[in-house]
Amino acid sequence: MQAAKPASQLTSGQWLLTGLAVTYLGFLFILPALVVFTTAFSDGIPAFITALQSRAFLQATRLTLIVTAIAIPINTLFGLCAAWVIARNQFRGRTLLMSLVDLPFSVSPVVAGLMLVLLYSDRVGWFSPVLTALGVKIIFALPGIVLATLFVTLPFVAREVIPVLEELGSEPEEAARILGATPGQIFRRVILPHIRWGLLYGILLTNARALGEFGAVAVVSGSILGRTATLPIFVEQSYQNYQSVAAFSAAVVLAGLAVLTLIGKAILERYYLHKLPTH
Amino acid sequence: MSIIVENISKQFGQFQALDRVSLTIPDGKLVALLGPSGSGKSTLLRAIAGLEPPDQGRIWINDQDMTHLNVEQRQIGFVFQHYALFKHLTVRQNIAFGLEIRKINRPDIRQRVNELLDLIQLAGLGDRYPIQLSGGQRQRVALARALAVQPQVLLLDEPFGALDAQVRKDLRRWLRNLHHEVNVTSVFVTHDQEEAMEVADEIVVMNEGKIEQIGSPQTIYDYPATPFVMKFVGEVNVIPSFLHQPQGLPHDIFVRPHGVKLQTQVTDTSIPAKIIQIIHRGRDIYLELSLLDRIPFMAQMNRDEWQALTMPADQWVQVELLQPITFPQASASPHRLPADSVTAA
Amino acid sequence: MLNFLPLSSPQARRWSWPWVITLGYLSVMLILPAIALIQKSLSLGFSEFWQIATQPMALSAYNVTFLTALAAAGVNGVMGTVIAWVLVRYDFPGRRIVDALVDLPFALPTAVAGLALATVYSDRGWVGSWFAPLGVKIAYTRLGVFLAMVFISLPFVVRTLQPVLQAMETEVEAAARSLGATPGQVFRRVILPPLMPPILTGVALGFSRAVGEYGSVVLIASSMPFRDLIAPVLVFQRLEQYDYAGATVVGTVLLLGSLAALLVINRLQQWGRYYASR
């Protein structure tokens, strides 16, 4: 890795280039982020706090947290299994499997939602007879929102864990196995300590996307405020209804979480770079 | 604890890694599996360990049929080429790993780890992490980790493969001594004939999934069973059969560089050769020759012999083959020729 | 207890727990939904599919979606390169913060991004008000769609380019200079060629993301047909009208577009590996 040129040695042309980059990011990222905060507090802090105490907002927050709490463990388990299958085995179709795991990134969230509607809608879905018979509602209800969130966050853990698992190699696993460790012991004592930062990184990204997913959830949720609206949908609905303080207050909460995510990412990236024993 | 391998075969796709291999390794021996890459030596070792289930055949360790037992049930110790140490554990924790899995009580683990640290001469470094050790030290820790659980047999896969030349040499000698001390039946894989010669009691030479020869280092070197072994375990000159065809010997003749004598006088059995280059390699002199001005040939001699030889002005010398070897067909034992059967064309 | 390791026979290995979970989950979560979409498309028959797919409103939506996404990804091909270059080569104050900021679109919910962009770039917004007197409207026009797509596709170029730039040897540049190349020639003939695969990969990844984007666009666009209506919003509207056939057809076209981009990305990555291995 090469060292960056210290600021004191930059030429004016290089400063110009730096200025261009920062200005671009300023207009694209920083100004919009600032406007969220100023608008949320435009009617003063009490208005902001009142907005966050509305029933609709609290319901949306609760729903978002429930969905995220379900999605993270499921996709973590899947991500670990998929990463292990891909990193530890040579088989025909391995590349195909990798592309398949990445596929949700290339599918428009709206199309993902549409697919779920075609499967589970109680009007036109494939499974509508079964669902009606069982009296289970998926679309326009919590299970649909969970499914949509699972779909869009499916690749994150696997993608982050595959490279660290490949880097570990299969020899330490074989060594542990020869020494008599059970599969569970091997996972806990050999694999997990090595992949933990990559795994945590993947979970962080899963978390951010699960909290913020809009398109796929909007399709399957029905966007009923107070019932099936998650936080991002609450933001959109409030905004369309000209309740700008409510919209921006919720946006501030989500943006705050995004900032925490970025800080977490930066910290984890440092651990990635300095792979020293951490005890 | 003896190891018996019976008719083992293993195929990877189209590639025949092992082809009906049978082998007996007596108790307490240190055996080398020697061969080029792709010869099946690592596959054989991994099959003995249980890491690579064979397609057919049986494996016995200590008179017990291990063929269908899992790795963890075979009570073997295994050392990997790239150490495979647990990077997140200290040296001490690495060595203790297998003992902890076996739920041995803490004071006993402590004591055993201390013994092993002494054995591998790393007593002061128990609390270091693998990343803080040199390659040679890491490999010794890997060895201690394998020995900690008192395996019936010790298997080592290219144990010195990732180390630099000097460390390799030291570690070879050390492994040899260690084996005398712990006396556990050991098998190690290597592609380096010098390493096999120096360390092993017995060498198993492998090529293309088959065993070419089994024997002591000396037997392998002096009485190679096949042209492959002859070429693989040391430098060799090949004199093609057409040179002596008129005498009715349709075989190539093999001779090692030190198995020849150079002289100036012409005899019935000497072959004329032109000196191309003289190479001083330490106390030995290597002569790059051209036999009959067309066949490349290497001769080796020590300094005294070199000085006794009066160099002819025209750079032509006479080569006398002292220990020529031929392999009539694919016979199991080498056939030694009397020196006088070779004549110059 | 999960069996995380291959059992002793290859057959058993295929069916150990990680395999079962991976293949089972992918079947239920990806393959089954995809089959539902394909089956619905096929059930329409080709002529009906084609007729719905080529309705003027749909054609205009593809146009807005794909061309705008291409433009946004292209702009980021240039600006992303500048940002990656500056982040790797120059140690200016605040570099770490800027570096972390690049990931904002991954971390910030798209609805919030759309809301924020719409506010800043509307007629009365901080930046939009500078343009309004010039007769340029940004929010609620195709320009707004473009802006949202630029926002969400920026990190792709920066993040694919950064490691390649980092691994690039500065000695090569010095060598070129010693052979008499001008700084411009060094850039065009030595620096840029190995950077092209990652830049184009980033552009394609950004394009693929922008094509599918819904959340940020729906808030900054007026979603008027023939003006700034994008295909994902059209799918959504059709669904709201219970027009499942219409939604499926447009959704399938959108999906095919994404898959084509995916193929291009795979090719580009192979090209990049070719460079890396030399």
d(CA B325, CA B309): 25
Task: Show which subunits contact A, needing at least 3 CB pairs below 8 angstroms.
Answer: B, C
Sort out which chain B residues have CB atoms less than 8 A from A169's CB and list them.
82, 84
Q: Is C150 helix (H, G, I), strand (E, B) or coil?
A: helix
- Which of B199, B232, B265 terminates a domain? The answer is B232
Per-position DSSP letters for chain A, written without gaps between them: -PPPEEGGG--HHHHHHHHHHHHHHIIIIIHHHHHHHHHHTTT-HHHHHHHHTSHHHHHHHHHHHHHHHHHHHHHHHHHHHHHHHHHH---TTHHHHHHHHHHHHHS-HHHHHHHHHHHH-TTT-TTHHHHHHHT---TTSHHHHHHHHHHHHTHHHHHHHHHHHHHH-SHHHHHHHHTT--HHHHIIIIIHHHHHHHHHHHHHHHHHHHHH--HHHHHHHTT-TTTT--HHHHHHHHHHTT-HHHHHHHHHHHHHHHHHHHHHHHHHHHHHHS-----
Integer angstrom CA distances of residue C197 from A102, A105, C157, C200, C263: 20, 20, 11, 5, 14
Confidence of residue B335 (pLDDT cuts 50, 70, 90): very low
Distance from CA of B71 to the nearest CA of A (A): 6
pLDDT, position B244: 57
User: Which amino acid, A171?
Assistant: E
Nearest C-alpha of chain A: how many angstroms from C198?
Answer: 17
Candidates A212, C241, C142; CA nearest to C250 is C241
Beta-carbon separation of C102 and A25 below 8 A: yes
Nearest CB to A180; choose among B72, B80, B142: B72
Q: Are residues B221 and B160 part of one domain?
A: yes
The reply to whether residue A7 touches residue C266, judged by beta carbons under 8 angstroms, is no
Domain with B67 in it: what CATH number? 3.40.50.300
- What average pLDDT does chain C have? 88
Q: Are residues B122 and B8 in the same domain?
A: yes
Q: Minimal Cα–Cα distance from A193 to chain C, Å?
A: 16
The string of DSSP letters for A97-134 reads HHHHHHHHHHS-HHHHHHHHHHHH-TTT-TTHHHHHHH
- Rounded distance, CA C150 to CA A153, Å? 22
Mean pLDDT throughout C104-124? 93
Supply the DSSP symbol for B311: P
Q: Which of C3, C109, C262 sits opposite A106 (nearest CB)?
A: C262
Averaged over C73-81, what is the pLDDT? Answer: 96
User: Using a CB-CB distance cutoff of 8 angstroms, which residues of chain B are in contact with residue A177?
Assistant: 71-72
SS3 at position B32 = strand
pLDDT given for residue B250 in this prediction = 66
- Chain B residue with minimal CA distance to C11? B53
| CA of B135 vs chain A CAs: smallest distance (Å) | 16
pLDDT at A272: 66
Q: Quickly state the pLDDT bin for B182 (edges 50, 70, 90).
A: confident
pLDDT of C31 higher than 90: yes
- Scanning C167-186 for CB atoms below 8 A from A yields 167-170
3-state class (DSSP) for residue C228: coil
Q: Which domain holds residue B133?
A: 3-232
Contact status of C37 with chain A (Cβ, < 8 Å): yes
**Distance of CA B243 to CAs A13, A88, A169, B236, B322, Å?**
76, 55, 53, 17, 17
Which chains contact C through at least 3 pairs of Cβ atoms less than 8 Å apart? A, B
Average pLDDT over residues C69-75: 96
Chain A CA closest to residue C205: A106
The number of domains in chain B is 2
Given a cut of 80, whether residue C278 has pLDDT beyond it is no
Q: In terms of domains, do B218 and B73 share one? A: yes
Mapped onto helix, strand or coil, the DSSP state of residue C140 is coil
Same domain, B194 and B257: no
Would you say A178 and B76 are in contact if contact means Cβ atoms under 8 Å apart? yes
Chain B residues within 8 A of A176 when measuring between CB atoms: 86, 97
Other Cβ atoms closer than 10 A to A5: 15
With a cut of 70, say whether residue C277 has pLDDT above it.
no
Q: What is the pLDDT of residue C2?
A: 36
**From B82, B85, B101, residue closest to A180, measured CB to CB:** B101
DSSP bridge pairs for B319: B262, B271
ipTM: 0.89
Closest-CA residue of chain A to B94:
A176
Asked, for residue C5, whether it belongs to a domain, the answer is: no
CATH of domain A44-273: 1.10.3720.10
- Residues of C (219-258) whose Cβ lies below 8 Å from A: 219, 231-233, 235-236, 239, 242, 244, 247-248, 251, 254-255, 258
How many domains, in total, are found in chain C?
1
Kindly report the CATH number assigned to the domain that includes residue C226: 1.10.3720.10
Which residues of chain B make contact with C9, given a CB cutoff of 8 A? 53
Residue B336: pLDDT over 50: no
Which among B49, B102, B131 has CB closest to A178? B49
Q: In chain A, whose CA is at the least distance from the CA of C107?
A: A258
**Chain A contact probe: residue of B91, B97, B116 with most A CBs at under 10 A:** B97
Domains of chain A by residue range: 44-273
Collect all residues with Cβ–Cβ distance below 8 Å to B172 and sequence separation of at least 6.
B160, B195, B198, B199
Residues of C in contact with B68 (CB under 8 A): 8
pLDDT confidence of B128, banded at 50, 70, 90? very high
B147 and B293, same domain (yes or no): no
- Residue C3 pLDDT > 60: no
User: What torsion, rounded to 10 degrees, do the Cα atoms B35, B191, C9, A186 define?
Assistant: 170
User: What's the DSSP call for residue B324?
Assistant: -
Task: Tell me whether residues C154 and A231 touch, CB distance under 8 A.
Answer: no
Chain C environment of A124 (Cβ under 8 Å): 244
Beta-strand pair B271-281/B284-291 = antiparallel
Residues B246 and B224 in one domain: no
Q: Is the pLDDT score of C99 beyond 80? A: yes
Helix ranges (DSSP H) in B120-263: 135-148, 165-182, 193-199, 217-222, 227-232
C38 domain-assigned: no
Are B124 and B212 in a shared domain?
A: yes
Torsion angles phi and psi, residue A87, rounded to 5: -80, -25
Most A CBs within 10 A among C90, C129, C217, hence the mutation to make, goes to: C90
Q: Has residue C39 been placed in a domain?
A: no
Instruction: Give yes or no: residues B209 and B249 share one domain.
Output: no
Q: Quick one: B251 and B222 in the same domain?
A: no
Q: Which helix (H) or strand (E) holds C184?
A: helix C183-186
Residue B27, pLDDT score: 92
User: By residue range, what is the domain housing residue C126?
Assistant: 44-276
Within this chain, do residues B251 and B133 fall inside the same structural domain, yes or no? no
- The whole-angstrom separation of Cα B59 and Cα B6 is 6
If we measure between CA atoms, which residue out of B8, B154, B151, B156 comes closest to residue B73?
B151
Residue B333 has pLDDT above 70, yes or no: no
Residue after which a domain boundary falls, among B185, B212, B232: B232
One pLDDT digit (tens) per residue for chain A, 279 residues: 456 888 888 888 899 999 999 999 999 999 999 999 998 888 889 989 998 999 999 999 999 999 999 999 999 999 999 999 999 988 888 988 998 999 998 899 999 999 999 999 988 889 999 999 998 899 999 999 999 999 999 999 999 999 999 989 899 999 999 999 999 999 999 999 999 989 999 999 999 999 999 999 999 987 766 678 999 999 999 998 988 889 999 999 999 999 998 899 888 887 765 443 333
Given B199, B214, B232, the domain boundary residue is B232
Question: Looking at the structure, do residues B52 and B77 belong to the same domain, yes or no?
Answer: yes
B220 and B336 together in one domain: no
Task: Please say if the pLDDT value at position C9 is more than 90.
Answer: no
> Using an 8 Å Cβ cutoff, are B59 and B2 in contact?
no
Q: Which one of A15, A111, A147 would you mutate to disrupt binding with C, by most C Cβ within 10 Å of its Cβ?
A: A111
CB nearest to A116's CB, from C33, C40, C117: C33
Write down which chains contact chain B via at least 3 CB pairs under 8 A: A, C
Helix (H) or strand (E) run with residue B313 in it: none
